[in-house]
Structure 1
């Protein structure tokens, strides 16, 4: 499976986002492969999503944003939402094993997962307004339910970076462990889940989607707004600055 590796180990399906050259950021093909892996995981007791060494996930691939086309960007936006929906609709608990930076859509992937365990070196944060985008598929809506509206707006507006310890304090993750204990810690949670009824875990999970489902229309609305902004000066400057590794200089508000 292109840029996604799947390892069925004991009671869990481990899905690894494997594009280290771009910090495991996903393009539409990679997101589709992850969706396929999630949908094929029904025989496992849990699903674990992690990243190849070096990062957890940097969100959607930004290399196409400097010269964006509507078709490409619409495909990227839709693939992001399809991935997050697959996580939420999976009948099994989905655990984020955050082994490095979770940025932008990667941070929203953590929001989408049912549980999250972070390595101590992991970092978290949104990137949208800094790179000419907006985090409309989780961080501007569901994240407020998880960590509180003011903190969610701080994360979405200011694009700050948060340590794993700060993410734990906020309530974005369930536990933080030493880097070399991450796999063991996740395996421990999987073992706990494996001792429980998969039927009633599924009922519990789907019932817990009430806030995600309530916000779901806003995801589509937000993505529609992003499509309308494709090629705008703010988008091009944010993406170009990111790719050139410099501070962006956005135009004054109109």
Structure 2
């Protein structure tokens, strides 16, 4: 099974995440495949990222957190950062078509995209401290610019789930539509973008990356701290609790 499916729809490149057995959670190889597709998309007028039916993206695959390898985890962290950078460095607008749960790195994927349209059944939220990790590549920094610092800390620290309507009110997405209307709605967005100047859209996008670029050092520093925490009691307990579908029992702070 291919990790992603790509197709041309009019002037847009559609990238569909295709790992339904793990809710489209990505490992390093899958993140690399998405990045490669985005990096090769300059001939299109826009790019759409969505998932196979049932899920948008559950973020980074958590299976490796229970028995972590420093090399493997470093690769996952670096591939996540490359994915989000590819979205921001793509000269074309990138739209998240959120067709299901966007959790953890999947929520940060929405943060990284230029625009987002959500199906009414979609949900949003971070998972980091609940599963023995931290959302350092967007949720702890850039998301605060998008939805406000206090609300971003609520998402990042408390790991609650939010409906599509709540995400719209917060400013995390641009539009909410009925589930059956999602792809048609996103096509309308891509057609509207196709009528505009690609040159000046690129200039607009590059200029809008001010806050992303300012937070870039924060991403690198945060990932460095995550690397140092690989194999910690909190990481292993969080991952095992998630996979065993039970509340985590984290050790007391020392």
The TM-score bracket by the shorter chain reads over 0.9
- Alpha carbons 1:7, 1:15 under 8 Å: kept: yes
Mapping 1:1-254, distance limit 5 Å? 2-254=2-254
Residues of 2 paired with 1:9 and 1:168: CA distance? 26
Structure 2 unaligned segments of length 5 or more: list them: none
Q: CA RMSD in A?
A: 0.7
Per the alignment, in what secondary structure is the counterpart of residue 200 of structure 2?
A: helix
Per the alignment, in what secondary structure is the counterpart of residue 214 of structure 1?
A: helix
- Alpha carbons 1:129, 1:159 under 8 Å: kept: yes
Residues of 2 paired with 1:120 and 1:109: CA distance? 18
Residue 43 of structure 1 and its aligned partner are, at CA, apart by 1.1
Aligned residues: 254
Residues of 1 paired with 2:229 and 2:65: CA distance? 12
Per the alignment, in what secondary structure is the counterpart of residue 64 of structure 2?
A: coil
4+ residue runs over 4 A deviation: none
Residues of 2 paired with 1:84 and 1:141: CA distance? 14
Per the alignment, in what secondary structure is the counterpart of residue 65 of structure 1?
A: helix
Residue 224 of structure 1 and its aligned partner are, at CA, apart by 0.3
Residue 9 of structure 1 and its aligned partner are, at CA, apart by 1.2
Per the alignment, in what secondary structure is the counterpart of residue 213 of structure 1?
A: helix
Residues of 1 paired with 2:33 and 2:71: CA distance? 20
- Alpha carbons 1:2, 1:29 under 8 Å: kept: no
Residues of 1 paired with 2:52 and 2:180: CA distance? 14
Per the alignment, in what secondary structure is the counterpart of residue 96 of structure 2?
A: strand
Residue 98 of structure 1 and its aligned partner are, at CA, apart by 0.1
Per the alignment, in what secondary structure is the counterpart of residue 81 of structure 2?
A: helix
Residue 2 of structure 1 and its aligned partner are, at CA, apart by 3.2
Residues of 1 paired with 2:7 and 2:35: CA distance? 15
Deviations 1:37-82 (A, max 9, x none): 1011111100000011110000000111100010000000000000
Residues of 2 paired with 1:145 and 1:99: CA distance? 24
Residues of 1 paired with 2:124 and 2:13: CA distance? 24
- Alpha carbons 1:2, 1:33 under 8 Å: kept: no
